[in-house]
Amino acid sequence: MNIFNFTKTELEEYLIKNNFKKYNATQIIEWVYQKNINDFNNMSNISKKLISFCDDNLFFKLPKIIKKEESKLANKYLLELDDGNKIECVLMFHDYGNSLCISSQIGCNMGCSFCESGRLKRVRNLELYELSGQILSISKYENIKIDYVVVMGIGEPFDNFENIKRFISVVIDNKMINIGQRHLTISTCGIVPKIYEFADLCTGVNLAISLHSPNDELRSSIMKINKVYNIKELFKAIDYYILKTNRRVTIEYIMLLDINDDEKCAKELAKLLKGKLVYVNLIPYNETSNFTMKRSNDFKIKKFYDILKMNNINVTIRKEMGSNLSAACGQLRANENKF
């Protein structure tokens, strides 16, 4: 079994079941995650019996980086998994720290009409070691500390909820990856029942919602999920998350030319968000040759931004992190597989 596929609790249970002590799990975890030791024989404070057991039953395996595209503000990586499937993640260099955007599934079934990732249907969910392995592989490869993680790459995280829960426990555990919960964000297109479950976990992890439209008619036309959970149901769940956690929710809004970027949409969005503990991230669309949708022009984006501001909505325009990269999420993988 892959050592990176255990949470702390799971490793404790596994070792106890095999007649070792609960604290042995913490010892091993400290060697693996804090001292970067990938050989049980080099773990000097564990017994010969435990070393031999671990050697016989556990191994170390992380996703392999097979391609890297670089720009000044961001790097994009293609990683290969054991079964030959490929995923991608993006490392962004902000003035406040390094932020890694990771994938949660191989492909995605949510079918958002503007999304390169959604064009590649879900093959399978990512396992725990493939989720956390993106952080571990990139930080090791670049020899850097990753300060922030956003689960916003290929896939819908709440469609892989059980592994995302385990992933959260590994990321925020101070003996494991040790990235504070406030530095971890999970982004969903709006699987409402999972938003309630996520809120009930009370982990302090941030929630981001891919909204992209202020009304049901438009949202249903670009995001299939809205036909299952409409905006009213979605905001009931968002309100519940805010009530439960007192955390601000990020509202992601991709700016699509002449689709969702006019004054009417901006005013409608301002009305929808009025008085809520939210913050809007306006995202200039990354055009790809597979879709006819275009990026809103700077004038329209600025106008949209101004309307939200005038209505006292917290809003920013996402900085574009290097247009020479295969920028749209899913694009590097698609290019590699020649879809």
User: What is the binding site for ligand SF4 (CB under 6 A)?
Assistant: 108, 110-112, 115, 117-118, 154-156, 189, 210
Q: What residue has token string 């390094």?
A: 98
Contact 36, 46 (CB under 8 A): no
DSSP class per residue in 185-231: EEEES--HHHHHHHHHH----EEEEE---SSHHHHHHH-THHHHS-H
CB of 172 to ligand SF4, least distance (A): 23
Whose Cβ is closer to ligand SF4: residue 122's or residue 166's?
122
CB of 102 to ligand SF4, least distance (A): 12
Query: How many C-alpha atoms does 222 have within 13 Å on its Cβ side?
Result: 21
What is the set of active-site residues?
A: 88, 329
Whose Cβ is closer to ligand SF4: residue 160's or residue 245's?
160
Whose Cβ is closer to ligand SF4: residue 107's or residue 214's?
107
What would the two tokens of residue 296 be? 């809103």
CB of 150 to ligand SF4, least distance (A): 12
Whose Cβ is closer to ligand SF4: residue 74's or residue 108's?
108
* Radius of gyration of the chain from its Cα atoms, rounded to whole angstroms: 21
Contact 95, 72 (CB under 8 A): no
The dihedral over CA atoms of 115, 116, 120, 125, expressed in degrees to the nearest 10, equals: -70
CB of 209 to ligand SF4, least distance (A): 11
Separation between Cα atoms, residue 171 and residue 180, nearest integer Å: 8
